[in-house]
Structure formats: C-alpha cells, structure tokens
Amino acid sequence: MSDKAVFLDRDGTINKDPGYLGEPDKVELLPGVAKGISLLRNKLKFKIIVISNQSGITRGLISKSDVDAVNNKINDLLKLENTSVDAFYYCPYHPDFDPPDKTECRKPSPNMILRAAKDLNLDLSKSYMVGDVLSDVTAGNKAGTKTVLLRLDDSAKTNNLNYDEKTPNFIASNFLDACKFIQNDYLGNIS
C-alpha cells in the first residue's frame, strides 16, 4: 500500500525567504508552519516532502552543504514541536547556467515530485503540493496532486482563477489555512 504526501516548497512557504538562504542561523519558520506540519504528519499521517528549486548552487552563491545545513536546521526547529520533514528534494540547476538535461528537475517540472513518489512509494492522487508561486502549482498539477497556492498578502481575493495548469485547487492566506483545507479535503468535509 502506498503512502500519501504533502509536498511543500521551502523558501517563502515554510521559512522566510531572504534570497539564496545558505546560513542555518538565518532560518526562520513562518507562522503556523510547525503546527500545520504536525497536524498533517502526526495526526493525518501524511509524509512531508520538501520540493525546492535551489539555483543559488549553480550560481555559486551557496553550496550543496549550505542547502543541506539549512534543511537540517528546518528539521531541528520542527523537532522542537515534535514533528519533521520526511525528505528534502532540491534542484541545484538553472537554465541560464546549465544545459537542458540538467534543468529537467526544476519546477514547474514535476520531476522532483515524481522521483519522490517513486522513491517513497507515494500515491500522488491522494497527495497535495503547497507553494507560494505558480511554478509550485504547475508542478503539482502536472504530477497529479491537488494543489494549494499560498498568498501571504491580500492578493488572494478569490479561489476562482483560470490559469489552466497553473490553477490551484485552493488559495490559502497562510500556512495553517492551507493545512486546514488539506485536512477538510482529505476527510471529505468539502462539498
């Protein structure tokens, strides 16, 4: 039997995004993230998988070990709340610096989600992708997950967008709002 997952973008979705984050001591979780991940992982039994573009590596601004250190710090902070991320996937490439065969992992491509699904035996039809930009939504839609677009400002006035593959199933005003949608949708509490 395969597991279900919530795929999360990293910078701007679960932690503040100062741009090319490479220093663990600068990691700051966004409000509600630890509580939301705890709900999804501990109560609803979703695997929590981070799917992140990290082109700062190919740009020479951060290293793979910097990204790994930041990811470890995120889990250290989450463990203080008795939860964690199950796996981190990231694409270190960018089309301005790397050949097309290397950049195939980069969102909006669904490749990282598909790889995680294969690696971890995940059922994408029971899974969700949450992110703060449309490339996150597109990646989730292409992979066959339901999608949530986080709008942490007042630009989310409606849930009715017409962007074809960029259309999310839900627009959330904050991380906990996204988690509550996933909980209600998964439990069948949405008409």
Concerning whether 17 is annotated as a catalytic residue, the answer is no
Please provide the average confidence, as pLDDT, over all residues in the chain. Answer: 93
Concerning whether 86 is annotated as a catalytic residue, the answer is no
- CA 167, CA 169: separation in Å to the nearest integer? 7
Cβ atoms of residues 37 and 74 within 8 Å: no
Per the listing, tokens 């964690």 go with 84
- pLDDT (average), residues 153-180: 74
pLDDT at 165: 75
pLDDT at 190: 73
pLDDT at 158: 43
pLDDT band at 166 (very low <50, low <70, confident <90, very high): confident
Cβ atoms of residues 24 and 65 within 8 Å: no
- Upstream peptide bond of 108 is cis (omega within 30 degrees of 0): yes
Q: Where are the domains of the chain?
A: 5-186
- CA 153, CA 149: separation in Å to the nearest integer? 12
Instruction: Convert the pLDDT of each residue in 99-133 to its tens digit.
Output: 999 999 999 999 999 999 999 999 999 999 999 99
pLDDT band at 173 (very low <50, low <70, confident <90, very high): very high
Q: In 3-state terms, what secondary structure has residue 163?
A: coil
pLDDT at 153: 64
pLDDT at 164: 63
Q: Which of 3, 9, 25, 153 is catalytic?
A: 9
33 or 191, higher pLDDT: 33
5-186: which CATH topology?
Rossmann fold (3.40.50)
2 pLDDT higher than 90: no
Can you give the pTM of this predicted structure?
A: 0.93
pLDDT at 161: 47
Judged by phi (left if over 0) then psi (alpha if -120 to 50, else beta), residue 167 lies in beta
Determine which helix (DSSP H) or strand (DSSP E) holds 47, and give its type and residue range.
Answer: strand 47-53
Per the listing, tokens 């899974």 go with 127
| Residues above pLDDT 70, as percent of the chain | 93
Instruction: Convert the pLDDT of each residue in 14-44 to its tens digit.
Output: 999 999 999 999 999 999 999 999 999 999 9
What amino acid occupies position 9? D
